[in-house]
Amino acid sequence: MQEFQNIGLIGRTESESTTASLERLIAFLELGGYTIVLEANTARALSYHNAKTSSKDRLGESCDLVIVVGGDGSLLAAARALAKYSVPLLGVNRGRLGFLTDITPDQLESKVGDVLSGKYLAESRFLLDMSITRNGKIEGGGSALNDVVLHPGEYIRMIEFELYIDGQFVYKQRSDGLIISTPTGSTAYALSGGGPIMHPKLDAIVLVPLNPHTLSSRPIVVEGSSEFMLVVSEKNTTNPHVTCDGAHQFVTSPGDIIRIHKKPHRLTLIHPLDHNFYETCRTKLNWQIKKS
């Protein structure tokens, strides 16, 4: 029996190129006799299909594999929704950078075919859980595959907060905020903020200050099991925001407590056999290639 028989599909619905790739993929999967389950919004963007449909949040209940056609943002959203099901994700790149969606459109049938025949690499990634507590009551929360970011929000103004790691006071900081990033997110916003690139297999989290008021404040890498607490200062004249993967945004109030820790559910990313993290870095970050 094939390992992957029920295949879920998620696509970036506003993109015509994504729609074309989805239609190719559906035809390929139907020819192979696979059962296709389309995410509901994706299904509405397609002119014709005979596939079952499901909401994104329920897609993992009926699928052995979910293929995401789009950019890294599409895969991040799928990861947040589906991590609890332990269903593996495979990405077809129809975005710009494509650190996570590593099958190109011209390789679609060949690479997806290899994966479905068992020729693939499986990689485990962890996510972060975030919650905001106000006066002892949880006001909001979310999860992130890349990062959780505390930032000023709509106003360009320094904010003040205290950082605790595993219950120990680290510092009080005045800055534009703080990025708390997984290894997956270390090549995203954290990299732009001056953070290090971390190999995806590392069980570590990096904290990257955003334009700190003191030049001695530098990124810190800590173990992945660490628990973080940020206390929003009562002195702030604005309301700092918290975002998860740049998508879900929450507005805090002075005195709020933000807690962040590793999510209990892990994500399995599927890659073609020729996937190489360092080659991805060379290609996506324009590192110099050694001449032959």
- Find where tokens 């925001």 sit: 241
For residue 6, give Cα distances in angstroms to 34, 60, 61, 151, 241: 6, 10, 10, 41, 39
Local structure of residue 62 (DSSP, 8 states)? T
**Do 104 and 82 meet the contact criterion of CB atoms below 8 Å apart?**
no
Contact of 127 with 268, CB cutoff 8 Å: no
Q: Residue 27, exposed/middle/buried by CB under 10 A (0-12, 13-18, 19+)?
A: exposed
Point out which residues pair with 38 in neighbouring strands: 9, 53
Contact between 63 and 47 under an 8 Å Cβ cutoff? The reply is no
Strand order in the sheet with 204-210: 220-223, 204-210, 177-181, 147-151, 241-244, 248-251
Q: Which residue in 72, 102, 147, 256 is the catalytic one?
A: 72
Concerning whether 72 is annotated as a catalytic residue, the answer is: yes
Cα distance between residue 251 and residue 268, in whole Å: 31
Name the token pair of 118.
Answer: 């068992």
The residues annotated with a catalytic role in the active site are 72
